Chain A
């Protein structure tokens, strides 16, 4: 079977199945079974089907592009790429293009250079992403079917107090929940399969609106609706930057497709349009990053203009001269800024989506939604979208952009980790941990660890969804989010405790060094290793490695603080611990499945197959080598990733990671299990820092002061102007108009109407008089005619003096 035709088919179907279920539930949801119970089945079936299709696609892919073991030797790796590449460009031996298929299903609009189309760009990353997303989504669907059973009957929201003091009471929204869930999956898969930036943007926004639906699922709660709006608006801020980036790309290059696409040019001839990747990293330069001609000309617009002016008569001369000059201009650095802006712009979008500093504030609030939603948002769909886009867009990013990304990631991970230390809400802890893990991924991408970052994305997806689902089952058991009321739950809910322990170990990257470990062990180690090698080649930026290591320590601490406070020790609240109970099987089964995967996701099978290896296969062309460049922030070296696999660096990183993680776990144990250190005492000692962290670094207040208050002030000012001035003016105008109209009406009634009536009555009376002439007798008319004729004749003859008698 031909993968070029099979893969789009399979993945396209996998992409559209959730849409089908969305539509079905949208129209028939409430009628599906009692209170729409079956809608869960529909949605779940849909997502499971698309999971199956994705697996089939994965099988197809592997059958066509078998994966070699991850080699530490660039040449071997490159060979494997070259061999496994279906239609490989033999000329570039060490810089082979990754195997990828692209095409368009449907062209929305095609005019001039712009071509908006619904298309696909499928490589190993896409396939993997499909599998992971659909798998996790399936688990979450199954889980949610149990978790949301409150919505099956009329639901009384105890957190909403109506004016009469009673609680808010409403019918259940079971089907609606799953409908949004299906739409969410559909949008996410759309982003993953998208073949061009425009399509990505469309589904990007769809994801945003879905998150809005789901976070604001309990929209009667003020907090929930606020959180939904917050998430939406903050994301818009990022998307604004993304739009700028897209405009920069399109305006200068005239295409938004990743891969080369065949389309009709303005003359209507079928031509091959170079995609972004081949523009930025053309074969000519052996896929080394270089500013595309379009951007160069765009930046050197004035030069181009004058040349064109000189050759106003012979335009083809001008064109040729411009073509000849482009390389000089590129050497002179034209267009670098443009490329930088493009990269930063797209990154802004990702900052918003995957909650990077400074736009991370929405994510902690997003837990207002039902827990399965949080799991989905935090693990596989929304925040993953940002990182995925960065990975997809990676080849276009200049080292400068990468540096910005790296620093953003570092800041984010440290910030979020510190906040997570003091949070007491179980889901909030997880939320901040998500942010900091995302920071890790960004950091990895920024320091050149393409595989490392995306690898962490996948592993994190597994264990973070696991953790959220576990917390969900805890909340389900205790009906509270506050960890200070929990404790000692391990006895009542062993499954949850066990699986959650697995999750914690995975996230801190626990494992026997150099032997084996949980999934997090591999991904986090590679990130640290890459950071280390980066800071070695660029000593000035070694802070990145420090931040990453410190982040690892903090991660270990707060994760185990969470686990200990929840499951270990004695119950703090008898009432809660009495009513606590293990979750139903429908909720436990996904936990187990996810736990297994959280363990094994990082492993690479004997055949050499593993997520990392497969990602290695999808690595964009030209990113495998060390690059030394940098225009804006001085010279910068992005080390090749395989260099971080060499012994020294790798071992150092592993040991560091292990040490920090162990230290964190020990500290947590001392404080919360053995009671050697009292948390309260610590908090008292570091009171200012504690409050500072407790207040989340005052970010919300900061934003409130910087953005919200000014806006509100301006708004109130505008409204006062509106009420005080504009309304007054309008009222005055209206009043004047009324007066004038009154006068006009008087004139109309007296003069005009009088005139008209007078005319009418005059006509009437005249008609009454003339009526008498109308005898209605035919014969008299004939006589009149004859008499008239004769009279006319006589008259005419007399006037003309023609003698009749003659």
Chain B
């Protein structure tokens, strides 16, 4: 008896959460978490590479939103969907992210050559 109760509770909970299909909001929440952690990563990391990773995370979170809004699978009846555009824009975002990574790395390399560090707190030459 004392064994069954928690099982049932778990089962009902699981069935309650797991039994109905996900909605756009789920994706949005995931995107939000990725985005936020990217931003925090940018805000907190002192390592230039860390900041680049933060940028990647941010873009990725944005991509999740695009895919969510574009996905025909998540298209509830009546709720408008941007259809292919979502995926197309996501692809563009990915491409530009790759380009951005290349340039950013080049910049980081230069920074390292000049300052012999990748600590961007040292990059305050523009400080007023």
Contacts and interface: CB of A to CB of B under 8 A. Distances in A.
Direct A–B touching in the complex (beta carbon < 8 Å)? yes
Contacts of B109: none
Nearest to A772: B128
Contacts of A786: 39, 43
Contact of A783 (B43, B45, B46, B123): B43
A783 B124 CA distance: 16
A779 B51 CA distance: 9
B115 to A, nearest CB: 13
Contacts of B123: 776, 778
A673 B125 CA distance: 117
A777 B121 contact: yes
Contact of B44 (A771, A772, A779): A779
Interface string A775-806: 11111001100100000000000000000000
A719 B47 CA distance: 88
Contacts of B15: none
A776 B39 contact: no
Interface in B1-55: 39, 42-46, 51
Nearest to B39: A786
A770 interface: yes
Contact of A776 (B43, B46, B124): B124
A773 B126 CA distance: 11
Contacts of A783: 43
Contacts of A107: none
Interface string B89-128: 0000000000000000000000000000000110111111
A779 B124 contact: no
Contacts of A776: 123-128
Contacts, number: 38
B39 to A, nearest CB: 6
B56 to A, nearest CB: 15
A771 B127 CA distance: 8
A774 B128 contact: yes
Contacts of B43: 779, 782-783, 786
Contact of A774 (B39, B44, B126): B126
Interface residues of B, number: 15
Contacts of B39: 782, 786
Contacts of A773: 128
A782 B42 contact: yes
Contacts of B127: 774-777
Contacts of B46: 779
A779 B42 contact: yes
Contacts of A771: 128
Contacts of B125: 776
A790 to B, nearest CB: 11
Nearest to A784: B43
Contacts of A779: 42-46, 51, 120-121
Interface string A752-776: 0000000000000000001111111
Contacts of A777: 120-121, 124, 127
B31 to A, nearest CB: 15
Nearest to B42: A782
Contacts of A782: 39, 42-43
Given A777-B121, A779-B120, A770 B44 contact: no
Nearest to B126: A776
Contact of A775 (B44, B45, B51, B124): B124
Contacts of A772: 128
Interface string A464-504: 00000000000000000000000000000000000000000
Interface in B46-103: 46, 51
Nearest to A780: B43
B7 to A, nearest CB: 36
A774 B39 CA distance: 20
Contacts of B42: 778-779, 782
B128 A770 contact: yes
A786 to B, nearest CB: 6
Contacts of A774: 126-128
Nearest to A785: B39
21 contacts: A774-B126, A774-B128, A775-B127, A776-B123, A776-B124, A776-B125, A776-B126, A776-B127, A777-B120, A777-B121, A777-B127, A778-B42, A778-B120, A778-B123, A779-B42, A779-B43, A779-B46, A779-B120, A779-B121, A782-B39, A782-B43
Given A775-B127, A777-B124, A779-B121, 7 more contacts: A771-B128, A774-B127, A774-B128, A776-B128, A779-B45, A779-B51, A786-B39
